């Protein structure tokens, strides 16, 4: 080759390998991908190899399925749209594997890691097609949830091992960093981990947000819509109801303990403006109410604080409104938003039943945190596999704990087919009790996924040692982000501190950061007792909190409004 082409002869294969290796470690300012596999190579990828060499046909068949626009269905279900970044990521993986084929590389951990990642993307993509097809919860699914909820009482009893049986080294053994778990940088306060994750994904949440209404999928049971940031790049979900405070706390606690999460935020009265433009056929707050009522059977009126036409006076106070003067708008008593950043491409579940995932310590141990926050809705659809764009066309996959709002006190009414979250009085003071030689978790969940069913005492012990690192400062910081009314916030702080203490006590872990709490706390406001002996005794400021912190009427009963 001549001198010009010689300049361009770069061993890019080596660069690709270096990139994969680098992503296994922390690159400055970025979360590392970690490793999917530790020692064992899963049998699910055996079909990709013949005599330990890459099976090109199988590889290409999988990659083709994930990238070919002409393949539109799976098991008669319409496949989701393939985003460009997702296809690019798949092609990168495919290209590396094809080069291994050409080089006749025998199956090794690096190649297995790539193939397993491709396998997970494939399975999750198919999972999304299936779950998209059945948005409504079927009777069979409801029965399964009831069964799991009832079974929870028995399922989460763990025999306390004797001193001879208990291997402390094994119990505190840290799992390898993986797409499902990232050990916290000790230099960063735990409560800041959520913001760190958000920054990597380029989530741009600001004060006094202005969003544009966009056509909405109207899924789930909590009223929510799609909205577009006025920067015209970032998408958001906008939601109301009982989960908007609990989701804030739940997601930040999971993030503080090393897990990837969705990014919910809360806005108080008139702090967020939703504008209606000509791009859609929902052109006013009345249209919005009608749509929400029609689909969710929820009257949005109690959640609306202000509506009208954007005025020049409004634009003078909030410059973001300037382009929208003359357009209809609505503001809310309170609402939650959840980021849908362009850098993150969402697939289906993170496959908690996969043979490797079902036995990952980091996923087994996550059960403890579900119990800690009192999360009920642990179904597979609330797990997510995503690809995160790191810039310069580099990607990492990430397992995400999504939708953590059905927590912090949950009431279920099977007869009325209703449930409600964020009910402070429903959250028990203790997350776990000791009875004889067993510890028993008090929380119930609606789906005992294999990853949770396989959790053993040592896995939960490991996560308990992590939970012990959340001190009073971090816990208060996390709760503050939920912008709860002061008495409710104070009560939640005491309850979560108590639940934390009960876990550490049950596992006989010496508390490095004891947090004082009072389970008989009483709080008065303006001379009126609102919390008495550890219980919220009034339907606190219902006008400002239309979802109510005490009424058990949930989303299927219009929050009692």
Partner 1 sequence: MGTNWLTFIFVICLTSFYSLGQIEEQRKYKTNSIEQLFNFISSSQGTDSLRFHNHSDYNYFDLYLESTNNILVENGLSLRFRKREYDSITSPTYSFQLKSEMDSEHSFRLEVEESELYFYLLKDDTSWVSITSILDTIFHNLEYNSSFLTSNDYLSSLSLLNSWIKFKYNAPVEPFQEMRYLNLDITDLEGLRPILYGKTARSRSHIYLDNSCSTQEEFNKIDKGDLPVFFQKDSSYNWILESSFDRSCFRSIEEEDVECIYLTEFEVENKYYNSHVGTEYMNHLERFLEDNFNTEMILDSKYRQALNKMK
Alpha carbon distance 77, 85 (integer Å): 23
The residues, ordered by sequence, that sit 6+ positions from 168 with a Cβ below 8 Å of its Cβ are: none
CB of 82 or CB of 557, closer to partner 1: 82
Distance of closest approach, residue 98 Cβ to partner 1, in angstroms = 7
CB of 276 or CB of 492, closer to partner 1: 276
Alpha carbon distance 371, 355 (integer Å): 23
Distance of closest approach, residue 397 Cβ to partner 1, in angstroms = 17
Q: What DSSP designation does 559 have?
A: G
**What is the DSSP pairing of strand 209-214 with strand 272-275?**
parallel
Nearest alpha carbon to residue 561 among 240, 248, 245, 264: 240
Distance of closest approach, residue 12 Cβ to partner 1, in angstroms = 5
CB of 95 or CB of 428, closer to partner 1: 95
Residue 401 in tokens: 């704990």
CB of 9 or CB of 415, closer to partner 1: 9
Residue 439 in tokens: 């510890």
Alpha carbon distance 317, 203 (integer Å): 24
**What is the DSSP pairing of strand 260-261 with strand 394-401?**
parallel
Query: Can you state the angle between helices 109-133 and 12-24, rounded to 10 degrees?
Result: 70
Distance of closest approach, residue 373 Cβ to partner 1, in angstroms = 36
Distance of closest approach, residue 458 Cβ to partner 1, in angstroms = 42
CB of 10 or CB of 139, closer to partner 1: 10
Lookup result for tokens 């004060």: 207
DSSP string, 4-51: HHHHH---HHHHHHHHHHHHHSPPTTS-----S-SSPPPGGGGGGEET
Contact 110, 41 (CB under 8 A): no
Distance of closest approach, residue 90 Cβ to partner 1, in angstroms = 7
Distance of closest approach, residue 233 Cβ to partner 1, in angstroms = 5
**What percent of the chain is helix, strand and coil (3-state, nearest 5)?**
40, 20, 40
Alpha carbon distance 44, 273 (integer Å): 49
Question: What 3-state DSSP class applies to 162?
Answer: coil
Q: Compute the chain's Rg from CA coordinates.
A: 25
CB of 99 or CB of 551, closer to partner 1: 99
Distance of closest approach, residue 70 Cβ to partner 1, in angstroms = 5
CB of 181 or CB of 395, closer to partner 1: 395
Distance of closest approach, residue 201 Cβ to partner 1, in angstroms = 17
Distance of closest approach, residue 23 Cβ to partner 1, in angstroms = 15
Distance of closest approach, residue 68 Cβ to partner 1, in angstroms = 5
For 112-189, strand residue ranges (E) read 157-159
Residues β-bridged to residue 387: 345, 397
Distance of closest approach, residue 326 Cβ to partner 1, in angstroms = 13
Alpha carbon distance 17, 95 (integer Å): 12
Alpha carbon distance 229, 211 (integer Å): 5
Distance of closest approach, residue 16 Cβ to partner 1, in angstroms = 7
Using CB under 8 A, list all residues that contact partner 1: 1-2, 4-5, 8-14, 16, 57, 60, 63-64, 66-70, 72, 88, 90-92, 94-95, 98-99, 102-103, 228, 231-233, 278-279, 323, 393
Distance of closest approach, residue 63 Cβ to partner 1, in angstroms = 4
CB of 102 or CB of 150, closer to partner 1: 102
Nearest alpha carbon to residue 258 among 181, 317, 197, 339: 181
CB of 131 or CB of 322, closer to partner 1: 322
Distance of closest approach, residue 17 Cβ to partner 1, in angstroms = 11
Which own/partner contact pairs does 94-103 have at CB distance under 8 Å and 24+ positions apart?
Answer: 94/59, 94/60, 94/63, 94/118, 95/16, 96/16, 96/17, 96/20, 97/54, 97/59, 98/54, 98/56, 98/59, 99/13, 99/16, 100/54, 101/53, 101/54, 101/56, 101/59
CB of 91 or CB of 153, closer to partner 1: 91
CB of 209 or CB of 228, closer to partner 1: 228
Alpha carbon distance 14, 26 (integer Å): 19
Residue 530 in tokens: 């609102």
CB of 214 or CB of 434, closer to partner 1: 214
CB of 126 or CB of 495, closer to partner 1: 126
CB of 91 or CB of 199, closer to partner 1: 91
CB of 99 or CB of 425, closer to partner 1: 99
Nearest alpha carbon to residue 346 among 87, 128, 77: 128
Helices of type H across 257-311: 285-296
């Amino acid at each position: 080759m001549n001198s010009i082409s010689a300049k361009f002869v770069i061993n890019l294969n080596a660069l690709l390998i270096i990139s994969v290796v680098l992503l296994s470690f922390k690159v400055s300012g970025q979360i590392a991908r970690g490793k999917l596999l530790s020692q064992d190579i899963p049998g699910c990828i055996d079909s990709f190899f013949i005599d330990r060499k890459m099976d090109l046909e199988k590889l290409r068949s999988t990659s083709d399925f994930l990238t070919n626009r002409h393949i539109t269905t799976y098991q008669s279900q319409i496949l989701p749209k393939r985003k460009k970044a997702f296809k690019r990521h798949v092609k990168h993986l495919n290209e590396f594997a094809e080069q291994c084929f050409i080089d006749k590389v025998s199956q090794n951990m690096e190649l297995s890691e790539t193939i397993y990642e491709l396998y997970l993307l494939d399975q999750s993509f198919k999972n999304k097609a299936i779950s998209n097809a059945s948005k409504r919860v079927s009777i069979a699914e409801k029965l399964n949830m009831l069964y799991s909820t009832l079974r929870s009482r028995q399922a989460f009893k763990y025999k306390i091992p004797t001193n001879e049986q208990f291997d402390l080294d094994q119990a505190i053994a840290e799992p390898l960093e993986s797409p499902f778990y990232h050990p916290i940088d000790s230099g960063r306060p735990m409560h800041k981990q959520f913001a760190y994750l958000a920054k990597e994904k380029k989530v741009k949440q600001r004060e006094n947000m202005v969003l544009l209404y966009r056509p909405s999928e109207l899924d789930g049971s909590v009223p929510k819509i799609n909205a577009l940031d006025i920067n015209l790049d970032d998408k958001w979900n906008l939601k109301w109801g009982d989960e908007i405070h609990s989701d804030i706390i739940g997601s930040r606690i999971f993030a503080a303990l090393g897990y990837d999460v969705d990014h919910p935020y809360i806005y108080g009265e008139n702090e967020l403006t939703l504008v209606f433009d000509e791009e859609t056929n929902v052109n006013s707050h009345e249209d919005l109410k009608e749509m929400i009522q029609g689909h969710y059977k929820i009257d949005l009126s109690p959640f609306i604080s202000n509506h009208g036409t954007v005025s020049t006076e409004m634009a003078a106070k909030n410059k973001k409104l300037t382009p929208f003067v003359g357009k209809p708008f609505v503001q809310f008593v309170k609402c939650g938003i959840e980021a849908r950043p362009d850098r993150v491409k969402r697939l289906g579940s993170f496959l908690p039943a996969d043979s490797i995932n079902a036995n990952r310590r980091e996923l087994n141990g996550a059960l403890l945190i579900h119990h800690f926050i009192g999360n009920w809705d642990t179904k597979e659809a609330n797990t997510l596999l995503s690809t995160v764009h790191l810039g310069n066309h580099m990607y990492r996959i990430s397992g995400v704990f999504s939708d953590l709002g059905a927590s912090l006190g949950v009431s279920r009414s099977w007869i009325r087919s209703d449930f409600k979250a964020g009910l402070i009085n429903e959250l028990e003071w203790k997350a776990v009790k000791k009875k004889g030689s067993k510890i028993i978790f008090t929380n119930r969940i609606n789906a005992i996924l294999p990853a949770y069913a396989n959790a053993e005492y040592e896995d939960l012990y490991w996560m308990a040692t992590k939970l012990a690192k959340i001190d009073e400062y971090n816990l208060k910081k996390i709760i503050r982000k939920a912008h709860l009314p002061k008495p409710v916030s104070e009560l939640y702080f005491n309850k979560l501190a108590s639940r934390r203490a009960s876990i550490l006590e049950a596992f006989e872990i010496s508390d490095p950061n004891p947090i004082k709490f009072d389970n008989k706390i009483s709080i008065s406001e303006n001379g009126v007792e609102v919390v008495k002996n550890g219980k919220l005794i009034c339907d606190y400021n219902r006008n400002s909190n239309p979802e109510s912190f005490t009424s058990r009427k949930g989303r299927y009963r219009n929050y009692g409004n």
